[in-house]
């Protein structure tokens, strides 16, 4: 499991460790790790051009010491001193190693600065450290803009400047790195968008903080973590013991949502899927997924005749009229875990009592849906994803899976889980319906709402990558059903690797 921390938690751990070590030890450890990363980013060190963007804080010191190590190996290293202060010992070390310094007397428009940035093989961002919050000020903001056009490899020291290390929030200009070398442990903001999209590849360099770190507020499950949590049939399993999931989805207008939600449940390994909906969605589910047991629910009817289930999925494409409300209410009145998605969330935004349940409740909103539930604009939620995921969990009394470029799973009183799988190609219609079916199957299989959501997001992301052609190059557009088709293979590879 990857654990991540706020900047305050990291600083407290650093102080505890520094009290036991000679002065400067941690900075030199960090600088060595940074220099190694820069070496690996270069085709060769001797004769290469390295430019350091140096701020006033310890990140600037890390960059200067790393620059000295690179200069001793034959790199041409130039330090652009952007802060009002500079780490004097680090600068002296760089100078002794043959590195050069350049001030910003003419600001970021200085042709000499632009020329250095344009010719750099590696550009090291040591402007602002983990304590930086809010928008970058000049000249840092101008240097961040210069870095955006740099042809070389941009390496961020600890955190890309302009990214809030604790939350991932970005206000104004920020550095976009190809590689971020962070020290001691991951910072929460490096895993959560919009900041995560600025990180590039993330490398966590150990400097000895482990024994001094607290319980994390943000974590990310790895493959073995997920593999160990997935429901698996035993020798005595039958379809009922493996989990019976009820799905209320689809309408005459949105028939596909029913097919896709059932697809996710079937392919994720539910023991039995019971589907309830209007006549046309039932017909299509029967044609596509004959394994599902279906029941036509006419307007005004409820789910009492559908049969016993161990978890409900309520909402994808079901509509938002009075009949849909009554049907959703009948399913959510059952004393079993429930997942509420899509139209079910629109109904809940109008009537929060739908979410007041004794049994576990998982909601799976995108930012717009969560915005309606909380009365907050979607773009505000997008900008502060961690804050609003936590707020929704506490305010609504549910487990929240906030979908988007970074999927977060939040539950009051515990660490927020960040999902690290997926591909931008998942941003297409119907993928959320498949995700709802997967998570519902895991709820019916006995997982907690937190584990069901986290594992479903991870597996959904793996299947999306496989459908798109895998990580890296060669990816192609996908459709939602492609994800369902890839689920068994994704789960097989996960279990084999775990």
Which residues sit in the known binding site for AMP? 403-407, 432
Binding residues, by number, are 58-62, 125, 129-135, 140, 158, 161, 257, 317, 366, 403-407, 432-433
Q: Answer for the pair 450, 411: CB distance below 8 angstroms, yes or no.
A: yes
d(C-alpha 157, C-alpha 60), whole Å: 8
CB-count exposure of residue 295 (10 Å: 0-12, 13-18, 19+): middle
d(CA 254, CA 462): 26
SS3 category, 127: coil
| Spatial strand order in the sheet of 49-54 | 100-102, 76-81, 49-54, 122-126, 153-157, 179-183, 201-205
For residue 135, CA distances in Å to 82, 91, 138, 161, 168 come to 16, 27, 10, 10, 13
| 217 SS3 class | coil
Candidates 122, 123, 77; CA nearest to 102 is: 77
Q: Radius of gyration (Cα) for the chain, nearest Å?
A: 26
Q: Which of 315, 372, 380 is nearest to 342 (CA)?
A: 315
> Binding site membership for K(+): which residues?
59, 125, 161
Annotated binding site for (6S)-NADPHX: 58-62, 129-135, 140, 158, 257, 317, 366, 433
Burial of 134 (0-12, 13-18, 19+ CB in 10 A): exposed
CA 445/CA 267 separation, integer angstroms: 13
- Burial status of residue 308 (CB atoms within 10 A of its CB: 0-12, 13-18, 19 or more): exposed
Alpha-carbon torsion (344, 350, 353, 355), positive or negative: positive
């Amino acid at each position: 499991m990857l654990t991540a921390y706020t900047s305050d938690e990291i600083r407290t751990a650093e102080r505890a460790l520094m009290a036991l070590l000679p002065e400067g030890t941690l900075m030199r450890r960090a600088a060595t790790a940074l220099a190694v990363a820069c070496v690996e980013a270069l085709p060769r060190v001797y004769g290469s051009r390295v430019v350091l963007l140096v701020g006033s804080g310890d990140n600037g010191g890390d960059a200067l010491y790393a620059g000295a190590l690179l200069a001793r190996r034959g790199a041409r290293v130039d330090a652009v001193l952007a802060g009002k202060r500079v780490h004097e010992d680090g600068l002296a070390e760089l100078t002794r190693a043959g590195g050069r310094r350049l001030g910003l007397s003419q600001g970021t428009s200085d042709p000499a600065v632009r020329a250095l940035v344009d010719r750099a093989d590696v550009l090291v961002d040591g402007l602002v450290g983990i304590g930086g919050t809010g928008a970058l000020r000049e000249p840092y903001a101008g240097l961040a803009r210069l870095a955006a056009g740099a042809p070389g490899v941009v390496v961020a020291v600890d955190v890309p400047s302009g990214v809030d290390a604790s939350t991932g929030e970005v206000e104004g200009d920020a550095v976009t790195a190809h590689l971020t070398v962070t020290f001691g442990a991951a910072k929460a903001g490096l895993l959560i968008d919009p900041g995560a999209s600025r990180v590039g590849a993330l490398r966590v360099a150990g400097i000895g903080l482990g024994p001094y770190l607290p319980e994390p507020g943000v974590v990310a499950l790895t493959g073995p973590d997920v593999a160990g949590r997935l429901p698996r049939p035993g020798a005595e399993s039958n379809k009922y013991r493996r989990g019976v999931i009820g799905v209320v989805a689809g309408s005459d207008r949105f028939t596909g949502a029913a097919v896709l939600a059932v697809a996710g449940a079937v392919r994720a390994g539910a023991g039995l899927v019971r589907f309830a909906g209007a006549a046309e969605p039932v017909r299509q589910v029967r044609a596509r997924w004959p394994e599902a047991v279906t029941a036509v629910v006419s307007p005004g009817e409820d789910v009492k005749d559908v049969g016993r289930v161990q978890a409900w999925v309520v909402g994808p494409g079901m509509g938002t009229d009075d009949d849909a409300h009554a049907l959703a209410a009948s399913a959510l009145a059952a004393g079993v875990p429930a997942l509420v998605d899509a139209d079910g969330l629109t109904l809940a935004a109008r009537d929060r009592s739908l979410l007041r349940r004794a049994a576990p409740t998982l909601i799976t909103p995108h930012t717009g849906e969560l915005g309606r539930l909380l009365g907050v604009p979607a773009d505000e939620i997008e900008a502060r994803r961690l804050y609003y995921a936590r707020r929704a969990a506490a305010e609504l009394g549910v487990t929240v899976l906030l979908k988007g470029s970074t999927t977060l799973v939040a539950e009051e009183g515990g660490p927020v889980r960040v999902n690290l799988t997926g591909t931008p190609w998942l941003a297409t219609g119907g993928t959320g319906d498949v995700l709802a079916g997967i998570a519902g199957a895991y709820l019916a299989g006995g997982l907690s709402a937190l584990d069901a959501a986290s594992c479903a997001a991870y597996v959904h992301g793996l299947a999306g990558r496989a459908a798109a052609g895998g990580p890296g190059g060669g990816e192609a557009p996908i459709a939602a059903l492609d994800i369902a088709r890839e689920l068994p293979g994704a789960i097989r590879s996960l279990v084999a690797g775990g």
